[in-house]
């Protein structure tokens, strides 16, 4: 997790630095529904590469936005879920969805 000194002073810039990529937002959108396994996420995000998904998940785990749970099974099962911090982004994602819906109505 980044320290306060490592984060931008502007709160909007802080948010963008943590979740500002297209893929991170879509990963969070999926995780708002339920925990997902790696391949489920990869298959649900059309066009994402394995490297970008791996890097995004690692980054969000380091930042405390998601949790990674490894189940001691053979073969190992790994699930990704939102942490409490990640769950607190629900209103932001919901507002983005609402805005996107309204925008589509305007341009039709």
- 34 in any annotated domain: yes
Helix, strand or coil, per DSSP, at residue 78: strand
Q: How far apart are CA 18 and CA 58, in angstroms?
A: 12
Domain count, the chain: 1
The reported pLDDT for the residue numbered 6 is 82
Q: How far apart are CA 49 and CA 5, in angstroms?
A: 32
- 3 in any annotated domain: no
pLDDT at residue 108 tops 80: no
Residue 47, Ramachandran bin (φ over 0: left; ψ between -120 and 50: alpha; else beta): left
pLDDT tens-digit readout, 37-82:
999 999 999 999 999 999 999 999 999 999 999 999 998 899 999 9
- Six-digit token pair at 76? 């190992």
pLDDT at residue 90 tops 80: yes
- 103 in any annotated domain: yes
What CATH number corresponds to the domain at position 38?
1.10.10.10
pLDDT tens-digit readout, 6-25:
888 898 998 888 888 899 99
Q: How far apart are CA 39 and CA 78, in angstroms?
A: 10
For residue 52, give its domain range.
12-107
């Amino acid at each position: 997790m980044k320290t306060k000194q490592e984060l931008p002073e502007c709160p909007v810039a802080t948010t963008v630095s943590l979740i500002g990529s297209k893929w991170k937002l879509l990963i969070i959108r999926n995780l708002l529904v339920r925990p997902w396994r790696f391949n489920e996420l990869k298959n649900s995000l059309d066009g994402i590469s394995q490297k970008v998904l791996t890097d995004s998940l690692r980054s969000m785990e380091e930042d405390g936005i998601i949790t990674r749970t490894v189940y001691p099974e053979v073969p190992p099962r790994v699930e990704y879920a939102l942490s409490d911090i990640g769950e607190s982004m629900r209103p932001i994602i919901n507002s983005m969805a609402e805005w996107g819906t309204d925008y589509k109505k305007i341009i039709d």
